[in-house]
Amino acid sequence: MTVVVAAFIASAYLAGLLSEATGLGGPLAAQASLAEHFEILGYAIVGAFAAVWTLAALLWRLSGLGRRYGE
């Protein structure tokens, strides 16, 4: 999940650089505009990490993996 988030952030910044350098619009400019809203996306990313961690902890507890592999 970390690699996907990093690739998304890098692609947004790269799209911004390419959009400015070439003057192209369309989907490239739309993705570049996401770089201006990373404060909102940051909350979503933190929420996604927290949700995945919580789901993994619940799965660990409820499926008995802790007993099987030793807590």
Asked whether the whole model's pTM tops 0.85, one would answer no
Instruction: Using 70 as the pLDDT threshold, list the residues of the chain that sit under it.
Output: 71
Provide the pLDDT for residue 57. 92
CA nearest to 32, candidates 15, 53, 56, 7: 15
Alpha-carbon torsion angle 43, 46, 48, 54, nearest 10: -130
